Amino acid sequence: MARIAGVNIPTNKRVHVALTYIYGIGPTSAKKICEKVGIGDGINYPRVNELTDDQLNVIRAEIDGKITVEGELRREVSMNIKRLMDMGCYKGLRHRKGLPVHGQRTSTNARTRKGPAKAIAGKKK
Amino acid sequence: MNDGQEKPAASDKDAPTGKRIVVAETAGAHGVRGAMKLRIFAEDPALVAHKDGVFLSEDPTDMRRVFLTLKNAHKDGMWLVSMQGVTSPEAIKAMGRTRFYLDRDSLPALQDGVDEFYYHDLEGLRVFMDDNGAKGEEIGQVLSVRNYGGGDLLYIRRRNGEEFYHVFSAATVPVVDVKGGFVTIIELEIL
Amino acid sequence: MARSVWKGPYVHPSLLKKADAARSGGKNVIIRTYSRSSTILPSFVGLTFAVYNGQKFIPVLVTDTMIGHKFGEFAPTRNYYGHGADKKAKK
């Protein structure tokens, strides 16, 4: 069991994959972290349970010190959205209405933002 | 829209107006025990559960009312609400789209000394040009109050039918007299 | 894709001129503009702009939170205005 950045416990996967289990770390930043602390050769990475405690601690220090992850990141994101909504700009209005923000079409699709399709009130034959 | 000609009694910003305002609208039934989905227009949802109930008609003389209790927040800013005496979803569906009203005077009072007004108190006010603090020429009427993010705006219709927005700020709207039914504005120089 | 930094923010040249004039002139001026794509600069804070939305000019009182956004974001081109039972307007 390895705990990094609070609650995350990624185990017996390769390091660069295990790190992406942390909110705020994707494949790219995971590899960058590995490169920085000198784990793996850029192609092959050891599994988390093959790491020494020292190596884990270096990774931990790297993440804690330099990257915003988990709760803090979530808070930052929702603060940004809240700021847009309070300001009343176009993007804020889209967030308020739960519609796509980046100018996508809404006549069809956009289900991620709009949620499950609502049935149109019954039309019987 | 009323004609802004009422002659309210004493007191200042919270003078009785006899007006009713929409606080909520039904958006369907929820569940099997007659809960109601409600679209609430008020900033404070608790208004809907007013202790004296909410009215079913906009007409201030119509005293039909119902008593609502807030249950919990639903998605999309809607609320689940139960209505006294209603226990089946069919009864809710039978109501169709209903609006609920509240007397303007039962809204929470506005803080005195702060330049703050309810939108609907401003709507319908007559608009005069500012003449060094006094009422100048009458130019039109406030149609509505809007906010697109760049501050509150008065949407004014001129007597010649032209409609325009005017910034609602201390510098541009020196006098707001809800009791007297008018505002005065300073027209901005257009650059 | 974000705009290249070396270009600097886009602002229509006439807007800069008008903003200068507004700042040196009296306080009760409103700057009409059709340039919805212009960026709001820090030097615009406190000025009032009337941004065209295709039909009307919407006044926008620039505050410091708006810096970096575009004028068009504050003048919606289509809108449905619902009810606001207890909305308050502040002077």
Cross-chain CB nearest to A98 (options B76, B147, B150):
B76
Cβ atoms C65, A88 nearer than 8 A = no
Domain ranges of chain C: 9-77
* Span A2-44, pLDDT tens digits: 788 877 777 888 988 988 988 999 999 999 999 988 888 888 8
CB pair distance less than 8 Å for C76 and A93: yes
Q: For domain C9-77, give the CATH number.
A: 3.30.860.10
- Closest residue on chain A to C62 (Cα): A87
Beta bridge partners of B79: B38, B73
- Of A89, A98, A115, which has the smallest distance from its Cβ to B149's Cβ? A89
Q: How far apart are the first and last CA of chain C?
A: 39
Helix (H, G, I), strand (E, B) or coil at B183: strand
- C73/A83 touch (CB, cutoff 8 Å), yes or no: no
Q: The domain A71-114 belongs to what CATH superfamily?
A: Ribosomal protein S13/S18, C-terminal domain (4.10.910.10)
pLDDT band at C78 (very low <50, low <70, confident <90, very high): confident
**Looking at the domain that runs over A2-67, which CATH code has it been given?**
1.10.8.50
Smallest Cβ–Cβ distance between C59 and the set B44, B115, B165 belongs to B165
Mean pLDDT of chain B: 75
Distance CA A73, CA A69 (A): 5
pLDDT classification of A67: cutoffs 50, 70, 90: confident
Q: How far apart are CA B124 and CA B127, in angstroms?
A: 9
Residues (pLDDT < 50) of chain B are 1-12
Q: What is the pLDDT of residue A42?
A: 80
For chain C, the average pLDDT equals 84
pTM beyond 0.90: the answer is no
Residues 6+ apart with CB under 8 A from A47: A12, A13, A14, A15, A18
**DSSP character for A16?**
H
pLDDT digit string, tens, across residues C17-44:
988 888 887 667 889 999 999 999 999 9
Domain chopping of chain A, boundaries: 2-67, 71-114
Using the beta-carbon criterion (under 8 Å), do A91 and C76 form an inter-chain contact? Answer: no
Q: Tell me, what's the pLDDT at C13?
A: 92
Hey, is the C-beta of C59 within 8 angstroms of any chain A C-beta?
no
Parallel, antiparallel, or unpaired: how do β-strands B152-158 and B163-167 relate? antiparallel
**CB spacing of A89 vs B76 below 8 angstroms:** no
What dihedral do alpha carbons B159, B160, B165, B169 form, nearest 10°?
A: -40
